[in-house]
Amino acid sequence: MKTIYFDNNATTKVAEQVFEEMEPLFCELYGNPSSMHTFGGQMGRRIRQAREQVAGLLGCEPSEIIFTSGGTESDNAAIKGTLAALPHKRKIITTRVEHPAVLTVCRELENHGYTVVELPVGKQGRLDLAELEEQIDDDTALVTIMYANNETGVVFPIEKIADLVADRGVIFHTDAVQAIGKIPLDLSKSNIDLLSLSGHKLHAPKGVGVLYVRKGTRISPFMFGGHQEAGRRAGTENVPGIVGLGKACELAAKNIEQENNKVKKLRDKLEKAILENCPDSRLNGDKENRLPNTTNISFEYIEGEAILLMLDKYGICASSGSACTSGSLEPSHVLRAMGVPFTAAHGSIRFSLSRYNTEEEVDYTIEKMPGIVNQLRELSPFVAT
């Protein structure tokens, strides 16, 4: 059976060109860039090239790029590193819809005496910027707000937020893991101080990511033990991962047009057909300010995990915000923050596309979806027959 992969916000396929770049770095060119010999030392050049490729996509200086093990490490390093550099400030502002890599870190810091403000969102998942402004005070060390939401694809007005935060002289971090490669961004014209990205969300391998630190931003190192990354992140470089990420960023810069045309068209077709063909379904999140690849749809009276398993039978991969898929007993914190009723949150499905998806795959899914929904509704005690 063919796999139809609509779960690209969870992880993506490694692009063939990326893999080709990485392949010789395991068994042939396996040297340590810190070594004095040519065999190892030559790898430094490859890392430098990757740093330039990443900087090219982000519109920043190569020296502003720190390679990490992924999005979660970048988020941890940004938040804890900023607080450690500003020991006299005790307040963090974030949102209720952040990825756990930010939200859990902030809540843990609360246990160490920090005050954490979690800004609410409206029904469409939008923030109230006036409320953010009101919350920033002299005690605020950091504002951390995601670029785009992983579950709904809702994009926050990050540039506006960065300006607003910069005006008040506070450090601004954004978790841009879902945005990079999907929407254009130019850090040279931005007030963003810190930005996290993850390799495996943009067709690079798992286990590599980036923390962008704007020149002049004070941040204490998170990992100690070596001089790598100019002393800002110790540990022998993940050379194949870094080289792969560099290539993936180069490809992303070329493909960003395609993401916004081809992928968006496919997403829109899938979304429109499902909403039309499946009664009692609803879209979750802001339709205007949204990633081009993501749609999050709730199906009333049925449960997400059951839908996923039915889709799985046809080789279709998606994800759900239902309680049952997480192992916890409550549905997605993002949908709850948006005030999506529990009943709809339990039946939510996220489809997230990539440039590797085809119209055929979308058509096949459109054809299967109503049958799946009907089959489960026939079982549901909340649907009159």
27 noted as active-site residue: no
- Which of 182, 346, 350, 355 is the binder for another protein (CB under 8 A)? 346
Torsion (CA) 181, 184, 186, 191 in degrees, nearest 10? -100
Q: Supply the minimum distance, in Å, between the C-beta of residue 337 and another protein.
A: 9
88 binds another protein (CB under 8 A): no
251 binds another protein (CB under 8 A): no
364 binds another protein (CB under 8 A): no
Total residues contacting another protein by CB under 8 A comes to 35
CB-nearer residue toward another protein: 206 or 262 = 206
Residue 143 near residue 255, CB atoms below 8 Å: no
301 binds another protein (CB under 8 A): yes
148 binds another protein (CB under 8 A): no
380 binds another protein (CB under 8 A): yes
Rounded CA separation 335/346 (Å): 10
Q: Supply the minimum distance, in Å, between the C-beta of residue 328 and another protein.
A: 7
Site string for another protein, 315-334 (x = CB under 8 A): -------xxxx-xxxxx---
Enclosing H/E stretch for 350: strand 348-352
- Which of 305, 314, 363, 364 is the binder for another protein (CB under 8 A)? 305
Q: Supply the minimum distance, in Å, between the C-beta of residue 7 and another protein.
A: 12
- DSSP β-bridge partners for residue 332: none
Site string for another protein, 116-135 (x = CB under 8 A): --x-x---------------
Residue 247 near residue 21, CB atoms below 8 Å: yes
Contacts 24+ apart (CB under 8 A), 73-76: 73/209, 73/211, 73/222, 74/175, 74/196, 74/197, 74/198, 74/209, 74/210, 74/211, 75/99, 75/101, 75/102, 75/105, 75/144, 75/173, 75/175, 75/196, 76/101, 76/105, 76/222
> Among 51-59, 64-72, 299-307, 349-357, which window interacts with another protein (CB under 8 A)?
299-307
104 binds another protein (CB under 8 A): no
Q: Where are the beta strands (DSSP E) in 241-284?
A: 281-283
Residue 368 near residue 355, CB atoms below 8 Å: no
> Among 81-89, 182-190, 238-246, 376-384, which window interacts with another protein (CB under 8 A)?
376-384
277 binds another protein (CB under 8 A): no
**Counting every residue, how long is the chain?**
385
CB-nearer residue toward another protein: 27 or 329 = 329
3-state DSSP percent of the chain in helix, strand and coil, to 5 = 45, 15, 40
CB-nearer residue toward another protein: 96 or 126 = 96
137 binds another protein (CB under 8 A): no
Residue keyed to tokens 């969300």: 201
Enclosing H/E stretch for 367: helix 359-379
Strands 348-352 and 294-299: what pairing? antiparallel
Residue 307 near residue 373, CB atoms below 8 Å: yes
> Among 105-113, 217-225, 240-248, 253-261, which window interacts with another protein (CB under 8 A)?
105-113
Give the catalytic positions in this structure.
324
Residues that bind another protein (CB under 8 A): 96, 107, 110-111, 113, 115, 118, 120, 301-306, 309-310, 313, 322-325, 327-331, 342-343, 346, 378-382, 385
